[in-house]
Structure 1
């Protein structure tokens, strides 16, 4: 069996990943089983560079706030602001402090200006996208930024009589942002404003504004640009998604947390599908957001399960979606030592390579009924590979040892 497993492993290169797939996918998803390790982000950067140079990929999407990501995209495409500003304002979850993320943004900007003094043609420029909603595990953002940006875009370009409300009415209904971002609302539904009369009115107005955007698309494309219209669509779906999320934060039913997790991944999936409409995308996020199977998590209210963004996108795109999970051997600075030999990670740890990409369905076939035991992590921040789900992945990238960042 050891020889058979070795035969499924290859160097982590774009060509090796592509050989696992029937055709170049529109969305190639690379998962990670833990966050915050620059060694994994360095690997992601290296793979993205090769996908750009060899396979025509032009967009990378990461698990970060979709509105903040516009700051990074503006910097890499047109040089708006500075690298420091892009890192400070363009990432959520504190990921702007990552050296690997900084190197990614620096390289993308350099690539876009490298061709000549005018930079690359617009169609060939690299694009950056955050595809998460403006959400944290502790709270959700106010819908103000997205809703007022959408209203402002439309107010400047369509007949005022077509607008469902004025900017002043929006401002009054939104109130102060701290009403929306109260961290206590995550565990106490009574603290949420999501089912207030004002929030209900805002949901209807957001729907009307998105419908107006759709109805005026031909005019708006002529008056501005496709990128401007797509940005307005991002504002619209983000405003609607946040208002929906806040509504269910005020829910008191047993399904509350499962619904909130599902709504977050619906927002992720919508953003990924929008990015894929421009051309092929490398997506990087936690394995649990990208897998085709249901995701599960134990929370303070008990276990919850929901369909991941990857499952939702896969249902829409079929073979144009591909998922390569990442599995790890050790993260010794987190207390994760050598994996037991009877786990998938243990079998891969015995291979001589420090990093390899494995044909997951073929590996599952080699293992057959002798399914390895699930690995148990001593650290909550690392999610081991589920051997029962191995065949549902297109590939597995294995990293033997993760050094401290």
Structure 2
């Protein structure tokens, strides 16, 4: 990308694809395109940027209002998001305000979901839902795999209330983990030192819960919650056991779990359901269009396309040139407002800035063979741990026309607004690979 001709062609293509982004009406093209899709995955280049959350909120509201999207799956824990789901659907917790609800997020980094931007969206969503019959209310669900102990607690509670004779199977799994004091890393390290694990117990528990739900013919919300918590427990055990060995396949365990959860939600909510997925660009953008593919890594965007092409899938990335972000210096440390320096020369962000200079929305259309869409360039991805002075490693080689179907571009961004500051982590997680997403 050194010749003036090549650069001018790239800039011209970017300019031809872009439309200025000033209001929600400037998203009309994406909304029309989403009408024929069952899944729209909307990313973010960091978990700590105000504009990424607010534009994702704006697009999501329009898709809910105009195109019938009726559930949202996010990069969060199932038990925490299940409580939000019941609140926004008017099923429980109605005496609590949204800030009290978000105060229940305790896993670091809490700012991902316990922030003012999410609070505003959830308040709107609850109001939207309460004006409609239960069958037309929009759900909010966690897709992630981390909540091992919380999910075990939820399973035990459901079994005690519904099939108490199955509680012993849950308690065997619980007792297996008890010596590790609710620290998944202590458990995982123990399996590295001594080749004994709780795998058989959590698989037996998953089988027991599935059989009990199936045997009762119970396909209601409580039963679905119990089965999903059992899936989380089984996959979390697998994830931590692999991760502690430094095996990059733990990334695939996590993203397969999230994609499988999307499939379970779709089956549970019925063939007419339409889902929005909120995750980091690193999960949303098709891994085959990045260097992740060379390492055998997959992600949610890739799996959605592979599994649901016939249903219609749209992947939307978000990116910016400079500004600030909420992130931390180290895993488990308090959050800080950190600067985001101007994009590195020769990156996708650098060319977008030079070609556009204003917030824009770019719809890639069908032909992705142009000099920008088909070229490998660095694309910035900021994790929850971020060091602006060492930013080179934050650029992921990307063919952007294959990674996404559309891109929302922002010139200057500001930090997300947490509802509270980080306390000591209750159950700290190791960084995942790629780092911190």
The yes-or-no answer on 1:347 pairing with 2:363 is no
Q: Does 1:178 align with 2:181?
A: yes
Shift of 1:152: 4.1
Greater relative contact order, per chain length (Cα 8 Å cut-off, separation 6+): 2
> Tell me, what secondary structure is at the counterpart of 1:365?
coil
Q: Assess, with a 3 A threshold, how the Cα gap between structure 1 residues 286 and 380 changes in structure 2: closer, same or farther.
A: farther
1:88 and 2:98 matched: no
What's the Cα RMSD here? 3.4
Is the 1:35–1:381 Cα contact (8 Å) retained in structure 2? no
Q: Counterpart in 2 of 1:241?
A: 235
Normalised by the size of structure 1, how large is the TM-score?
Answer: 0.78
* Structure 2 counterparts to residues 159-308 of structure 1, below 5 A: 160=165, 163=166, 165-166=168-169, 168-176=171-179, 178=181, 180-182=183-185, 191-193=189-191, 199-200=197-198, 203-222=199-218, 226-249=220-243, 251=245, 256-277=246-267, 278=269, 279-294=273-288, 306-308=297-299
2:103 counterpart SS class: helix
1:16 corresponds to 2:19: no
Task: Assess if the C-alpha contact under 8 Å between 1:59 and 1:128 holds in 2.
Answer: yes
Structure 2 unaligned runs (5+)? 1-8, 325-337, 381-387, 417-437
| Contact 1:71-1:90 within 8 A present in 2 as well | no
Task: Choose from 134, 145, 170 the match for 1:122.
Answer: 134
Of 399, 402, 419, which aligns to 1:391?
A: 402
Distance 1:312 1:372 in 2: 22
Aligned partners of 1:339, 1:392: CA distance in 2, in Å?
20
The aligned counterpart of 1:313 is 304
Give, in whole Å, the separation in 2 of the partners of 1:212 and 1:329: 51
Assess, with a 3 A threshold, how the Cα gap between structure 1 residues 214 and 381 changes in structure 2: closer, same or farther. farther
Describe the SS at the equivalent of 1:397: strand
Asked whether the equivalents of residues 108 and 126 of structure 1 are also in contact (C-alpha less than 8 Å), the reply is yes
Work out the number of aligned pairs and report it: 371
Confirm or deny: 8 A CA contact 1:339 1:375 kept in the other structure: no
Note the C-alpha offset of 1:266.
1.8
Contact 1:329 1:338 in 2 (8 A): yes
**TM-score normalised to structure 2 length:** 0.73
**1:245–1:263 contact (8 Å) kept in structure 2:** yes
* Cα distance change on mapping 1:182 and 1:386 into 2, 3 Å: closer
The Cα of 1:403 is off from its aligned counterpart by 2.7
Write out the 4+ residue segments of structure 1 that deviate beyond 6 Å after TM superposition: none
Deviations 1:19-39 (A, max 9, x none): 456x63222111112220111
